Amino acid sequence: MLDTPLSTTSTRDVRRLGINLNHWYVVAQSGEVQAKPVGVTLWHQAIVLYRDQSGEVHALEDRCPHRHVRLSEGNVVNGQLECIYHGWQFNAEGRCAAVPYLADNQKLPTCQIRTYPVREQDGFIWLFPGDATLQHTVPLMGLPEWDHLNYIGSFTTIECEAHYSYLIENLMDMHHGHLHQSYQAWAEAKLEDLEETGDRVVAHYQAQSYYTINKIWSVAQLFIPAMRQLHPEPLDVSYVYPHWASKLGDDFRIYCLLCPVHETHTRAYLIHFTSLNAFPRLHKLPEWFRRFIKDSFFGSAKGLLDGLVRQDVLMIEQEQQAYLANPQRKGYELNRALGSVQRLMQRQASGVE
């Protein structure tokens, strides 16, 4: 098999692609949005998130129409978003609701701030930045394991000074496990099958795993390679635009929820779930105790996730810098999954599914 240039699947440069705005993106973790407004950026759009008096999350353009300063610098007052500069207040519909120095003979300004559809689900804030009339026609991927009592969750945040395509390709290419020998529970991934449709690419790998969830001692194999006892496990990774999901055997699931900031900055949330299905006796215990176990071990894999992210981000940012230094120089790729991934990105950026 001859090696081929990585970015020749289309005349469009993958490293300069925009995003399809008509999808649900994750812009914050639920716990990040409390009493104070929070400013986020999703593909050049400055957005402010805040909670009203009932705790419901709202999303508005992060710009006061009076002097165009950031509303995220302000406060929430009686459920309204108040600008820090002059105290103008705006409601959840983006309309001006109060001006503290409004004269008796003056009317409230008729200015309108853009609002965004937003949902709080599975521990995260999901936002739809495109045509709001399409929000109910596009499924939100979600995390079914987040509240399931049989899964222990951990997550970390990825901040990467690179185009989102580099992160997705990194996640879909399981051959780069060579980089993570001290942080992952499998080795020797081989691509066996590939599925490509309008909104997703699914790569089926066969890997060699050395961690067994119901054998507590096997965690030592992460740190002592000489102890490793390999056994085959299916490893499936899926780019379900615009997010990513993976499954290793029956015990491990990982998601990466993307928030592309701009062409050279990507934020993402990496969430890892460990299954407890291998412990049938645990399932017979009272629900309150199972919830206690789930909550007590939440975040137990964060150290491993942080280690993986550090290694990946270093490589991805080097790829981005190499591209910026010489965008005409093409890499060479042997993993055919990445050609499928690039085609999907190009279709979605063009609005063609």
CA distance 256 to 275: 18
CB contact set of 216 (below 8 Å; sequence gap of 6+):
none
What are 74-121's pLDDT values in tens digits?
Answer: 999 999 999 999 999 999 999 999 999 988 888 998 899 999 999 999
Angle between helices 337-349 and 164-172 (to 10 degrees): 150
Q: What is the pLDDT of residues 253-280, one digit of tens each?
A: 999 999 999 999 999 999 999 888 878 8
- Report pLDDT for 5: 36
What pLDDT does 333 receive?
87
- As a whole number, mean pLDDT of residues 177-193 equals 77
pLDDT tens, residue by residue, 331-343: 888 899 999 999 9
CA–CA dist 34, 317 (Å, integer): 32
pLDDT of residue 232 exceeding 70, the answer is: yes
Lowest average pLDDT, out of 72-81, 176-185, 202-211, goes to 176-185
Helices (H), the chain: 164-172, 287-296, 302-325, 337-349
Written as six digits, the tokens of 305 are 């996730």
Question: What gap in Å lies between CA 255 and CA 230, rounded to an integer?
Answer: 24
Q: Which of 93-102, 135-144, 182-191, 220-229 has the lowest average pLDDT?
A: 220-229
What number is the average pLDDT over the span 7-14? 56
Distances (CA, A) of 195 to 182, 188, 215, 237, 351: 30, 21, 34, 11, 20
Average pLDDT, the chain: 88
Contact 206, 235 (CB under 8 A): yes
| pLDDT of the residue at 342 | 95
Question: 211 falls in which pLDDT band (50, 70, 90)?
Answer: low
Give first-to-last CA distance, the chain, whole Å.
30
Query: Residue 224: exposed, middle, or buried by beta-carbon count in 10 A (0-12, 13-18, 19+)?
Result: exposed
Lowest mean pLDDT of 100-114, 129-143, 192-206, 227-241, name the range: 227-241
Q: What is the pTM of this model?
A: 0.89
| DSSP code for 107 | P
Q: What pLDDT, on the 0 to 100 scale, is given for residue 279? A: 80
Mean pLDDT (whole number) for 119-134? 97
Q: Assess contact for 269 and 155: CB atoms under 8 A.
A: yes
Predicted pLDDT of residue 253: 93
pLDDT number for residue 26: 97
State yes or no: pLDDT of 221 exceeds 80: no
Name the nearest CA neighbour of 112 among 132, 97, 131.
Answer: 97
Reported as a pLDDT band with limits 50, 70 and 90, residue 220 is: low
- Helix (H), strand (E), coil (C) string for 142-166: CCCCCCCCCEEEEEEEEEECCCHHH
Distance CA 79, CA 131 (A): 26
Q: Are strands 96-98 and 243-248 parallel, antiparallel or unpaired?
A: unpaired
pLDDT in tens, 11-59: 479 999 999 999 999 999 999 999 899 999 999 999 999 999 999 999 9
Strand partners, 201: 196, 239
The H-or-E segment that residue 169 falls in is helix 164-172
Answer yes or no: are the C-beta atoms of 165 and 204 closer than 8 Å.
no
Does position 316 have pLDDT exceeding 70, yes or no?
yes
Position 183 pLDDT exceeds 60:
yes
Amino acid 185: pLDDT: 67
DSSP label of 146? S
